[in-house]
Amino acid sequence: MELAVSSADSLSFGGEIPGAAGAPAFAIHASAASPIPVLIAVPHAGRIYPPALTSAMREPQRAALRLEDRLVDELGSAVAAQTGAALVVAHAPRAMLDLNRAADDVDWEMIAGRPAMRTTHPPPGRRARSGLGLIPRRVPGLGEVWRGRLDHAELEARIAGIHAPYHARVAAELAGLRNRWGAALLLDLHSMPPLGERAGANAAAEFVVGDRFGATSDGGLVATAFACFAEAGARAAHNRPYAGGYALDRHAAPRRGLHALQLEVDRRSYLDASLRERGPGFAATADLLATLVRRLAAEVALLGNGAGVWPMAAE
């Protein structure tokens, strides 16, 4: 199925980064015509660091580089421009708040000044215990990120300004796409350090497709993704070592026409040797991902055929 691409898109903003003089937490590029039923989300490439944030970090430059999905927002923008996919890009940095974590997945030992009315909190999840919860605490190879504890009021401001509006907007965009097409796909776009140093059959994977072990997407979409990578001669892995996180859990509901995949891209494929700036492979990687998005969009449109009208409420 061929899907038309419209250039009549619009740019809007949402949320607010605390301490950044009104800077929006994220941007949304979308066409009112919704030319394809795909939303690309880029949660980990934000680069607006308020001065108070960097001054609270032990080694801000090194920690930021480790935590960011470096320039994957530019990759997502290039793909959206080629395909007409809607695009949401976080401007808030992952060091400030990880949008791929639940709002209560917090290492509470790093939080000071908890309200007296709340005496208990849910236990931290696996990721928070490992140092990479809602507020990253430790980075492999670097250690502790922060000089001291974070005030509870600041945590609440970050959730209210960044996390809540971002996920509300993602849900609304997906609901709109589903109601037009009968089905919609969230492609949660990330980048990963090279896997070559890791042992195992997937060590050389250039792309990792995650669907929470089959829970967040129709299996045909995963098959389409792997066929696309195979035809391009690219090495891809499924769910290992990255199966997806909170964004997929929150927004996917395949039986109701909402599908979600996480895609990890090897940084060497689009960055230079330092893994800091665009490299010679950027254009080719963007072209491959644009082909992938077009094929996934066609499959999603087929899944939506005859689905009828879905409820307007966001998931």
Asked if 209 and 225 touch (Cβ cutoff 8 Å), the reply is yes
Locate 61 and state its tokens: 């430059």
Residue 98 lies in a domain: no
Residues for the chain: how many in total? 315
99 to 26, 102, 205, 223: CA distances (angstroms): 11, 8, 25, 27
* pLDDT at position 120: 66
pLDDT for the residue numbered 314: 34
Helices (H) and strands (E) in the chain, counts: 9, 12
Q: What pLDDT sits at residue 4?
A: 41
- Beta strands per DSSP E along 121-256: 138-139, 143-144, 150-151, 184-192, 207-210, 236-238
Least confident of 9-13, 38-42, 52-56, 202-206: 202-206
> Considering the domain boundaries, does residue 251 fall inside one?
yes
Q: Could you tell me the two tokens for 118?
A: 């709340």
How big is the chain by its Cα radius of gyration, in Å?
19
* Beta-carbon contacts of residue 308 (< 8 Å; ≥ 6 apart): 182
pLDDT tier at 3 (50, 70, 90 boundaries)? very low
Domain span including residue 291: 9-49+69-91+151-304
Indicate the SS3 state at residue 145. Answer: coil
Q: Would you say residue 111 lies in a domain? A: no
Between 312 and 72, whose confidence is greater? 72
Angle of the 282-304 helix axis to the 164-181 helix axis, nearest 10 = 60
Cβ atoms of 41 and 72 within 8 Å: the answer is: no
As a whole number of angstroms, the distance between CA 193 and CA 203 comes to 11
Domain assignment present for residue 184? The answer is: yes
Residue 116 is predicted with a pLDDT of 52
Confidence of residue 315 (pLDDT cuts 50, 70, 90): very low
- Is 100 part of any domain? no
How do residues 37-56 score in pLDDT, each as one tens digit?
A: 999 999 999 999 999 999 99
d(CA 179, CA 176): 5
Q: Return the CATH number at 292.
A: 3.40.630.40
Of 167, 145, 187, which Cα lies nearest the Cα of 100?
Answer: 167
pLDDT band at 307 (very low <50, low <70, confident <90, very high): low
- Number of independent structural domains in the chain: 1
Q: In terms of C-beta density within 10 A (0-12 exposed, 13-18 middle, 19 or more buried), how is residue 174 classed?
A: buried
Coil/strand/helix, residue 272: coil
pLDDT at residue 33, as a whole number = 86
* Distance, CA of 113 to CA of 306 (rounded, Å): 53
Take residue 41 and report the two structure tokens written for it: 């989300």
Contact 274, 259 (CB under 8 A): no
Contact (CB, 8 A) for 297 and 213? no
Q: What is the pLDDT of residues 116-156, one digit of tens each?
A: 555 567 777 777 777 799 999 999 889 999 999 999 999 99
**Percent of the chain surpassing pLDDT 90:** 82
231 inside domain: yes
Helix/strand/coil (H, E, C) string of 80-134? HHHHCCEEEEECCCCCCCCCCCCCCCCCHHHEECCCCCCCCCCCCCHHHHCCCCC
> What are φ and ψ of residue 187, in 5° steps?
-105, 105
Dump pLDDT digits (tens) for 269-304.
999 999 999 999 999 999 999 999 999 999 999 999
The pLDDT of 150-164, averaged and rounded, is: 98
**Maximum pairwise Cα distance, the chain:** 59
Q: How many CB atoms lie within 10 A of CB 303?
A: 22
Residue 76 phi, psi dihedral angles, 5° rounding: -60, -40
Residue 263 within any structural domain of the chain: yes
Residue 113 included in any domain:
no
* Dihedral pair phi/psi, residue 222, rounded to 5°: -65, -45
Q: How many CB atoms lie within 10 A of CB 295?
A: 17
Rounded mean pLDDT, 211-231: 99
